[in-house]
Amino acid sequence: MVGSTSHHNRSMGACFSVNHPPFQHNLTIASAYFSTTFTGLGLSSNLIALLVLIRAYQRTHSRSRSSFLIFLASLVVTDFMGLLVTGSIVISFHVTHFNWAELDPRCHFCNFMGMSMVFYGLCPLLLGATMAVERFVGINRPFAHSTHMSKSRAMFTVLLVWVFAGSISLLPVAGLGSYHLQMPGSWCFLNISSQSLDMFFCLIFSLVGLLSLTLSFVLNTVSVVTLLRVCCGPDSARRQRKHEVEMMVQLILIMITASVCWCPLLVYIAKTALSGKDPQVLPLLLWLRFATFNQILDPWVYILIRQAVLKRLCPGGRWTRASTVSLYPTLIRTSGPTLRSEAIRSSLVKAQVKTTLL
């Protein structure tokens, strides 16, 4: 009996070398109820948000607004697909109680889910940092932004983010790290271990996520300070800018949501891998639920923080249609010589165009 058991363990794939079925557990947080509820809420919320964004995109005539909506839509689609792919696997496990080792002896299915978890986990953080860069340039260098950030470039930037996140998720397949079945047997994820390759991949995953959040925080802080300097100046009554305020409020809330939901899991993975201790099931599942909340809460930022809602919350606000570029003279006076030189270059270009037309 012992010999047959050891032979069975050797015949299983590498993804079952740490945890292998069958599992015995009674964790409420790992129940089918939690998985179904989280997946259902997330899918419906992202679907509603996508419809709202499509309508907003069809009505907008601002290039900067269009680019920002493209980034938001890509974030919604990414969250939706992440919940659809990973949630369907987890729910299928709870419904059918399939045995991973029998269904997937070569670990192809487990590797696919592990790659999906890493890809759809990093994409929202990377897209959040990308939107922070876009808004930083749009507020601090509006002429350069309006010239270079077209819809096609925004889509190309989103594609680059997806390729980068996908490349990181493929590293274990190439031999750097590994994906393993996780307790209670319903999902696969990176192997949190102090072994050199596994630890290196854990640190890559954690540091990329934490650096994305840090970059978002720094750039969003600078953008908000610049926006406040312009909006709260001596001519603030004629400089209410609904698009810039709306986009920055949305971006700040996206950053706060991502930080609260993802930081515990990212820090826990890095800390556990560096400490050499085995990951504990309950904390890992708890922080994973926190990260899943990000995919549920994100779309409500787009649904609730819109001009129509803001008008109802603040009916006395002056929601005019002025944009950053149209209000640029005030921004020049408050933002130093670099911005002035950029404005001069733009004026010269416009003068050259007029001369050519004449």
- What are the per-10-residue average pLDDT scores of the chain (358 residues)? 44 72 63 83 92 82 75 92 92 84 86 95 94 85 59 90 96 92 87 91 96 94 83 51 73 90 95 88 89 88 68 53 43 47 47 40
Helix (H) or strand (E) holding 223: helix 196-231
Rounded CA-CA distance 162/169 in Å is 11
Specify the residue for token string 């925004």.
Answer: 154
User: How many of the other CB atoms lie within 10 Å of CB of 290?
Assistant: 16
| pLDDT tens, position by position, 215-262 | 999 999 988 888 777 766 555 444 445 667 777 888 888 899 999 999
| pLDDT for position 240 | 45
Whole-model pTM? Answer: 0.80
The dihedral of CA 270, 211, 297, 94: what is its sign?
A: negative
Local structure of residue 277 (DSSP, 8 states): P
Q: Name residues whose C-beta falls within 8 Å of residue 89's C-beta, 6 or more positions apart in sequence.
A: 113, 186, 187
| pLDDT for position 324 | 43
| pLDDT for position 238 | 42
| pLDDT for position 208 | 96
| pLDDT for position 348 | 45
Rounded CA-CA distance 144/140 in Å is 9
| pLDDT for position 178 | 92
Answer for the pair 34, 293: CB distance below 8 angstroms, yes or no. no
| pLDDT for position 12 | 66
